[in-house]
C-alpha cells in the first residue's frame, strides 16, 4: 500500500513538474507579452540604445533624454555693480544639438556669478533657431528687464561676444515678441541682423 501511495505521489509530482515546465512556452498570453517587448528591445534607436527604449515602457518611442550629451567650454559676459564694462567668465555647458548649444549658452548668459550682474537675467527667451549661419533669437522684455543706455549697449555687446565665439554663427537676428525693433530697449540702434 505504501509503495502504491508513493508511486501515485511520484506520478503526480512528475506530471505537475512537466506541466509547469511547458506552461510558459505554450501560453498564448506569455508569447504575446514577449512578442511586444522583444521587437522594442531588439529595435536599435539612433544611438544604439535599443534596450533603453524597452525599459521606458513606450514601444517605438525614443526617450528624449537619451541623445548623446556634448560638452563645450564657453565664455559668457556679465558686468559689475557699476555697469561700466563686461567681465568674461568661463563656463562649461552640456548640450545635444546646435539649437540646444545656443540656448544653453543664452541661459548661461542669464546666470551671473556672485558679485556680478547679468544683463539678460530678466529677459524671457521665447524661441531660438540656428540655420545657415544665422542665429534667430526671439525674446520678451518685461519692464524690469529694460536698462538705461549704458546697460543696453553692454547687453547687446555681451550677447554678441557670447554667440560669436561659435565660429559657425555669422549673424544674430534679435526680435522682441516676433517683431524687429529699431532699438532693443529704446536707447541703442539694433541692427537686423547683427553681423559678426
Q: Which residues make beta-bridge pairs with 75?
A: 90
106, 172 contact by CB (below 8 A): no
- Kindly report the pTM of this predicted structure: 0.65
Q: Omega before 193 cis (within 30°)?
A: yes
The string of pLDDT tens digits covering residues 157-183 is: 999 999 999 999 999 999 999 999 999
Residues in the chain: 196
User: Which pLDDT score, from 0 to 100, does residue 67 have?
Assistant: 76
Instruction: Give 76-95 as a DSSP string.
Output: EEEE-TT--SEEEEEEEEEE
Amino acid at each position: 500500500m505504501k509503495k502504491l501511495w508513493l508511486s501515485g505521489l511520484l506520478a503526480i509530482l512528475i506530471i505537475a513538474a512537466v506541466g509547469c515546465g511547458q506552461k510558459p512556452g505554450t501560453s498564448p498570453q506569455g508569447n504575446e507579452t514577449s512578442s511586444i517587448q522583444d521587437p522594442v528591445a531588439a529595435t536599435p534607436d539612433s544611438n544604439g540604445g535599443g534596450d533603453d527604449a524597452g525599459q521606458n515602457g513606450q514601444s517605438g518611442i525614443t526617450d528624449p533624454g537619451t541623445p548623446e550629451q556634448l560638452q563645450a567650454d564657453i565664455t559668457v559676459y556679465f558686468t559689475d555693480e557699476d555697469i561700466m564694462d563686461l567681465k568674461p567668465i568661463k563656463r562649461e555647458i552640456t548640450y545635444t544639438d546646435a539649437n540646444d548649444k545656443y540656448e544653453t549658452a543664452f541661459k548661461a548668459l542669464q546666470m551671473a556669478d556672485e558679485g556680478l550682474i547679468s544683463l539678460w537675467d530678466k529677459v524671457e527667451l521665447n524661441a531660438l533657431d540656428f540655420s545657415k549661419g544665422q542665429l534667430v533669437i526671439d525674446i520678451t522684455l518685461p519692464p524690469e528687464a529694460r536698462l538705461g543706455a549704458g546697460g543696453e549697449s553692454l547687453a547687446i555687446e555681451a550677447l554678441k561676444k557670447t554667440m560669436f565665439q561659435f565660429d559657425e554663427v555669422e549673424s544674430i537676428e534679435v526680435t522682441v515678441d516676433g517683431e524687429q525693433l529699431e532699438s532693443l530697449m529704446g536707447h541703442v540702434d539694433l541692427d537686423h541682423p547683427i553681423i559678426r
